[in-house]
Structures are given as structure tokens and as C-alpha cells.
Amino acid sequence: MIIEPKIRNNVCVNAHPLGCAAQVKAQINYVKARDKVASPRRVVVIGASNGYGLAARIVSAFGSGAATIGIGYERPGTASRPGTAGWYNTESFKMEAEKERYQAWNVNGDAFSEEIKSEVLEIVRENLGEVDFLVYSIAAPRRMDPKTGELYSSVIKPIGKRFTSKTVNFLTGEVSEITADPATEEEIGHTVKVMGGEDWRLWIGMFQREGVLAKNFLTTAFSYVGPDFTRAIYRDGTIGRAKKDLEEKAVQINELLKPSEGRAVISVNKALVTRASAVIPAVPLYIALLYKVMKEKKLHEGCIQQMYRLYHEFLFTGGPPPVDHKGRIRLDDWEMREDVQKEVAGLWGEVTTDNIRDLADMDGLRDEFLRHHGFGMPGVDYTQDVEPDIF
Ligand SMILES: NC(=O)c1ccc[n+]([C@@H]2O[C@H](COP(=O)([O-])OP(=O)(O)OC[C@H]3O[C@@H](n4cnc5c(N)ncnc54)[C@H](O)[C@@H]3O)[C@@H](O)[C@H]2O)c1
């Protein structure tokens, strides 16, 4: 089958297996070309099949030779239908890791469920004994409460008042106005339930109860803050409320971990185009302007550069990481630099459909989005037939 990208409303609904394998390989090569990192050797990554979690897993394995258990919720390809990018990514990761004799287990299923937690626990018990480091990197649309069976859906909406903003269709480059109505109390609660920190705490609690947390165990989860013009929809909106909950849970997890001298730390990461961020109103336009400014200033990073810097310069330096007044690592330090934000704000005011190609890095945004789905990778011949169930 010839597989070409199918994109609707900033969502790409298919993926190319060989292209995904190539982009995993490119991330691996990035890490292998750099200094080793002194990071822990028994690692669990929740949300390991895409974006930040995949990059973290790659740095753990190829930067320090760690054994990794990666959990993702993905659909495999069949003979007649391509699977999701995350499926191809994790399968290719495992193949590459095993070539270099790094142990790797893929667990595909709902990380919110008790079944998947038990499956991971079994793998830890049988193979690793203990866990040194857990990365929590889930971006999910819904969650079923494992106790009650109730289904919660997350929404991306402002809180309190209506939000109107510029946004962009990044395939056509059309800049238009988007309006989002404020969330109801129920929607806010549901979003916190899905994207807040409750499940992160459940994972740590389970490992602790079962006695598989190593001394000095470390865990990290990812948050985002961002600029003023996305504040109403992001940080002050439903998703920001969930991120505040995640940050509060870090404090609770730190209390839990005190007896074994473990630690939980939030990393506030840079805005990047991933499957998750592409669907947040206004955010792709902000990212296209941000990429333009950061590339000009030679400050641009993708997921793998961010994760390598997180490990190499913040988490595993031998001393405590530099943190902000709320105890968070600020991996968005370059994004939030005053000169960067000032320039992006200027461009934001000016940008229209007519001038977007000059003011924003639309090609960079689109190329990176497509690469997340295995399209546009150098060395892959997209005119050739490929078996969708090759992995
Ligand atoms: N992309 C950004 O700009 C950005 C910036 C800062 C922080 N973050 C945060 O980083 C984290 C990861 O985001 P991303 O952009 O890398 O997302 P992504 O969409 O690229 O990856 C999400 C991962 O979560 C997994 N997942 C989703 N539902 C699951 C479930 N029920 N069970 C198991 N796995 C599940 C997916 O399989 C995938 O591996 C999120 O918490 C996000 O808020 C993202």
C-alpha cells in the first residue's frame, strides 16, 4: 500500500511505518552523537510512544544504557490499514534498543487501568526488581476511573469567560478567528481527572505499596505555562487547571517518597508541535511564530533536544536541579526569554493569512508535525508500497 498523510482539522489520522522508524532512528542518532548521561538504569515511561515520552525513553536507553518499560495506547497496523504513529515508534524503538542489547518492554494499553498497572508491575518484578526513575508523559482525551468505571473526557476551554483568538490551519496557512465558550464546572472537573496528577500518584503509590521503588527513586511529569496570549485558553483554562493539579500532586508524591529519599519534580517544557498540542486553539499559530523567532536566534529545540537537556543539564548533574520559586524545572527557559517573547508578541499582532509565510515558520511547523507521523523523512521512498503491518 502507498501511504500518504491524511490530515483533518490539524489531526493526522494515519502514519507511515518506515517513516516513523526513520524518525525514531534520527532521535537515537542525536543522542548517540552526544555525551553519555548519568541517568538511572531501570526506567518506566508512561506515554512512551510519542512526543516527549518517546524522546525521554530514547535518552534513557541510548544516553545511559537503561532498561526501559514504555507504556502507550496505540493501534497496530493491519494488512489493509496503517496503525498509529506511536505503534510504529515503539516497535522501532524496541528493535533499535535490542540491537544494542538494551532491555526494552513495550506495554500497549490504557495506563489509567488497573490491568496495565499490574502488567507493568509484573515486568518490573520479573526483570528489574526495582524502578529508579519514572517519567509520566500522558496526553489523553479521556480516562475511565478504575474504581468506579466512570468515563471522564478532557476539554480544552477557557474558564469564566469566552475566548476569542487568532488561530491557523497549518495545512493551508489560513489565519482565522476562533471562539471557545467557557467550560462548565463539570468539564473543568473532568479535565482535571484526565490530565491532572491523580493517575501519576496512583502509579507511584502502587509501586511503593508493592515495594519496588528503589532508594532515591525519582519521578518527573511535564507541565506547560506559556505566554500571555494563550493564557486564557491554556494556563488559565481547563488544561491549565489540570496542570496545576499535576503540580500539586508532585508535592504530595514528594511527601510519599520522603521515607525512601525519593523525589518528584515537575518539568515545565517548551511548546512544541506534537499530536497533542496541534489541536489546542491558537497554540499552533503561537508555535509557528515561536519557531521562526527561536530558529533565527539559534535557540530552537524539538522533543529530543529538550529531553536530552533535561537529563544532561537538570536532572542528572550530580546535584539538585535549578528550579523556579514553585520548585519546577524550567525547560521552557529559552522560550520564555524576554527578547523571544517580545518578538513573538510583535508578530502575533501583525500576522494575517497574507503575510503568514514571511512572519511564521509554517513550513517548519508542518514538516515537524508530519515527521511525528512518519512523513517527510529523508531516505524514505514514499512512492514505494509498504506493508502497514510490517511492525
Ligand atoms: N507538546 C507540548 O507543547 C507540551 C509542552 C509542555 C508539556 N507538555 C506535556 O507533555 C506531556 C506529553 O505530551 P506530548 O505533547 O508529548 O503528547 P503526545 O500526544 O505526543 O504523546 C502522548 C502519549 O500519551 C500516550 N497515551 C495517551 N493516552 C494514554 C492512555 N490512556 N494510556 C497509555 N498511554 C496513553 C500516547 O500513547 C502517547 O505516547 C503531556 O502531559 C503534555 O501536557 C507538552
- 388 C-beta closer than 6 A to ligand 1: no
The count of structural domains within the chain is 1
Q: Is the CB of 272 under 6 A from ligand 1?
A: yes
Count CB atoms within 10 A of the CB of residue 346. 13
276: pLDDT strictly greater than 80: no
Task: Quote the mean pLDDT of the chain.
Answer: 95
3-state secondary structure of 179: strand
54 alpha carbon to ligand 1 midpoint, in Å?
Answer: 9
Q: Is residue 155 included in any domain, yes or no?
A: no
Give the residue-averaged pLDDT of 267-286.
88
Q: Does a structural domain hold residue 70?
A: yes
156 lines ligand 1 (CB under 6 A): no
269 vs 52, 110, 148, 194, 335, CA distance in Å? 9, 24, 33, 19, 9
Residue 275 pLDDT more than 80?
Answer: no
Ligand 1 within 6 A of CB of 138: yes
Q: How remote is the CA of residue 179 from the centroid of ligand 1, in Å?
A: 25
Ligand 1 atom with minimal separation from the 53 CA: 16
CATH number at residue 224: 3.40.50.720
* Distance in Å, CA 46 to ligand 1 centroid: 9
Q: What is the pLDDT of residues 190-216, one digit of tens each?
A: 999 999 999 999 999 999 999 999 999
Query: Quick one: which atom of ligand 1 is closest to the CA of 272?
Result: 3
331 lines ligand 1 (CB under 6 A): no
The arithmetic mean of pLDDT across residues 293-318, rounded, is: 97
Q: Is residue 80 part of a domain?
A: yes
The answer to whether residue 151 sits within a structural domain is: no
Domain boundaries, position 69: 7-142+193-276+299-333
Which residue, 20, 25, 6, is CA-closest to 390?
Answer: 20
DSSP class of residue 311?
I
pLDDT at 135: 98
User: For residue 8, what pLDDT is reported?
Assistant: 82
Backbone angles phi, psi at 199, to 5 degrees: -70, -35
Query: Within a domain: residue 45?
Result: yes
In this prediction, residues 230-246 reach a mean pLDDT of: 95
- The confidence score (pLDDT) of residue 338 equals 97
Domain assignment of residue 292, yes or no: no
Q: Which three cell numbers stand for residue 214?
A: 528503589
* Residue ranges of E strands in the chain: 7-8, 11-12, 42-46, 67-72, 104-108, 131-136, 142-144, 151-153, 163-169, 174-180, 213-223, 263-268, 329-330
What is the per-residue pLDDT for 263?
96
Convert the pLDDT of each residue in 160-194 to its tens digit. Answer: 999 999 999 878 889 999 999 999 999 999 999 99
User: CB of 112 closer than 6 A to ligand 1?
Assistant: yes
- Assigned domain for 159 exists: no
13, 73, 119, best to mutate for ligand 1 pocket (most atoms within 8 Å of CB)? 73
**Residue 102 annotated as catalytic:** no
Span of 115-124, 136-145, 161-170 with lowest mean pLDDT: 161-170
Is position 152 within any domain? Answer: no
Q: Using the mean position of ligand 1's atoms as its centre, give its distance from the Cα of residue 53 in Å.
A: 7
Binding site membership of 90 for ligand 1 (Cβ less than 6 Å): no
- For a pocket test of ligand 1, which of 134, 138, 243 has the largest count of ligand atoms closer than 8 A to its C-beta? 138
Is 55 a pocket residue for ligand 1 (Cβ < 6 Å)?
no
- Protein residue with its CA nearest to atom 27 in ligand 1: 140
Identify the residue whose cell numbers are 500571555.
Answer: 228
Q: Residue 309 carries which side chain, given as an amino acid letter?
A: R
b (16+ CB within 10 A) / e for 160-193? eeebebbbbebbebebeeeebebbeeebbebbbb
- Closest Cα to atom 42 of ligand 1: 139
pLDDT surpasses 80 at 367: yes
Catalytic member of 30, 73, 152, 234: 234
pTM beyond 0.85: the answer is: yes
Q: Is the CB of 137 under 6 A from ligand 1?
A: yes
Mean pLDDT of 323-330: 97
Q: Which of 12, 277, 283, 306 to mutate to test the pocket of ligand 1 (most atoms within 8 A of CB)?
A: 277
